[in-house]
Structure 1
Amino acid sequence: MELMIVDDHPLFREGLKTIVNRDDKYTVVCEAGNGTDGIRLGKRHQPDIMLVDISMPGKNGIQMIRELKRSLPQTRFIIISMHSEADYIVEAFRAGASGYLIKESAAGSLMRGLDTVARGELFLDDALSQEVVFRLMQAKDEQSAGRDPYTTLTAREQEVLRLLAEGLSAKEVAAQLFVSPKTVENHRTNLMKKLGLHSTVELIRYAARLGLIDLDTWAI
């Protein structure tokens, strides 16, 4: 099976390739250092499995998976991340990931994860807590019941959400989207109401749970 690795740390990518190359079943055909290149090269090479980090320059891993799932429905995605919080893991599987590995345990679990996902099954790192399993089941129930509020946002509201969460002011968002600040404020009011959010801090944390931004960069 053909693999692609998307991670912004070259040494970590080399480590993954070293592990993968021990098994004849898998071949690394491509690698990328950010989500934007991951999307471009993923569409070109159409690998069977992609190993993806979450926190990267440009588009993060969860955004990348969401976009590629539409054009590469047969490709399976395994997140390999330093983040072990339930929110990140739930959003990764919601986006379309088939597996989730913690970086510190990747050396021992990678091949088992690859084999599991290659069989069409889901893989969850043994290091993850039972809370994650509970949250995943809860998220699945909510999604099947159509209660995922993010899906109710328009494409423009999703864009405004991401830019505001990145710390841009309404004026800066307006300049970037070529609209008026009043329009941005209207989008902000609408999306906050749809998501049940009441402050900028809540908006930032919500965006982080979706994987739209990295909460580690914020002191909140």
Structure 2
Amino acid sequence: MPIKRLLIVDDHPLFREGLKAILRRDPSFEVAGEAGSYAEGLRVAKACRPDLAVLDISLPDRSGIQLARELRQMLPEVAILMVSMHAKVDYVAEALKAGALGYLTKDAATVSLLSGLRSVAAGLPYLDPTLSVEISRALLLTRTPRREEESHSAYDSLTPREREVMRLVVEGLSNKEVAGALEISLKTAEHHRGNLMRKLGLQNSVELVRYATKMGLID
């Protein structure tokens, strides 16, 4: 396999160093750039134009899922492997919908990173081995148009941005803090929050947290 150039985006320098130590075991991979935030990740990607990208979801400025979307638009051929602490099905599904071809939890990365990268580099999907077979099958089906057409639940009617706002709200952020985290206006944040509450048929933040818990989006 020709040498594949990688971009690593994670806000923890020690974790990035750990990934690079693993990558040094396989000469097929070369770290072309690294970043600790969404904005820096975009800048480095434009400069080094990697073949592969290893992205974390929880970045300090914006979501790694949004970064995956941006990278796929900027570099359509880039293969993305998400490596995140989040193991909830919703995060995995959103990452796949955003264009990621693989997903690993950070706990599994020390064992499965190279396997995951080899798979996505070959254009094949790769999901964390710790995920159940049933969940893996369901997540892969979300990538097909048929699954999208058959889904009529209230949650599925939310836009990607509304889901991002929902996650931040259930984490306790105010509308102003949501606006800052997503780099949108306060009015836009309030609009998204109102829309998602209306679609879900909820009245307040307490009901939203209960709904998110029931859906398995949070513990």
Normalising to structure 1: TM-score of the pair? 0.75
- The verdict on how the C-alpha distance between 1:136 and 1:171 changes in structure 2, with shifts beyond 3 A counting, is closer
**Cα displacement string for residues 24-72 of structure 1 (whole angstroms, at most 9, x for unaligned residues):** 2111010001122112211222100001111121112112112221111
**What SS does the aligned partner of 2:117 have?**
helix
Question: Which residue of the partner structure matches residue 33 of structure 2?
Answer: 30
**Cα displacement string for residues 10-34 of structure 1 (whole angstroms, at most 9, x for unaligned residues):** 1111111111122221110100011
Unpaired segments of 5 or more residues in structure 2?
Answer: none
- 1:167 aligns to 2:173 (yes or no): yes
Question: Which residue of the partner structure matches residue 64 of structure 1?
Answer: 67
Check the 8 A contact 1:65/1:77 in 2, yes or no: yes
Check the 8 A contact 2:56/2:84 in 1, yes or no: yes
Check the 8 A contact 1:82/1:102 in 2, yes or no: yes
Matches within 5 A, 1:47-126: 47-126=50-129
Check the 8 A contact 1:98/1:117 in 2, yes or no: yes
Question: Which residue of the partner structure matches residue 199 of structure 1?
Answer: 204
**What SS does the aligned partner of 2:158 have?**
helix
Check the 8 A contact 2:93/2:139 in 1, yes or no: yes
Check the 8 A contact 1:100/1:124 in 2, yes or no: yes
- The verdict on how the C-alpha distance between 1:131 and 1:84 changes in structure 2, with shifts beyond 3 A counting, is farther
**What SS does the aligned partner of 1:17 have?**
helix
Check the 8 A contact 1:90/1:132 in 2, yes or no: no
- 1:5 aligns to 2:8 (yes or no): yes
Which of 163, 177, 181 lines up with 2:185 in the alignment? Answer: 177
Q: Within 2, Cα distance between the matches of 1:36 and 1:49?
A: 18
Q: What amino acid is aligned across from residue 104 of structure 2 in structure 1? A: L
RMSD (Å), alpha carbons: 3.5
1:92 Cα deviation after fit = 0.9
1:144 Cα deviation after fit = 5.0
Check the 8 A contact 1:164/1:170 in 2, yes or no: no
Q: What amino acid is aligned across from residue 150 of structure 1 in structure 2? A: L
Q: Within 2, Cα distance between the matches of 1:188 and 1:197?
A: 11
Normalising to structure 2: TM-score of the pair? 0.75
- 1:149 aligns to 2:157 (yes or no): yes
Unpaired segments of 5 or more residues in structure 1?
Answer: 209-213
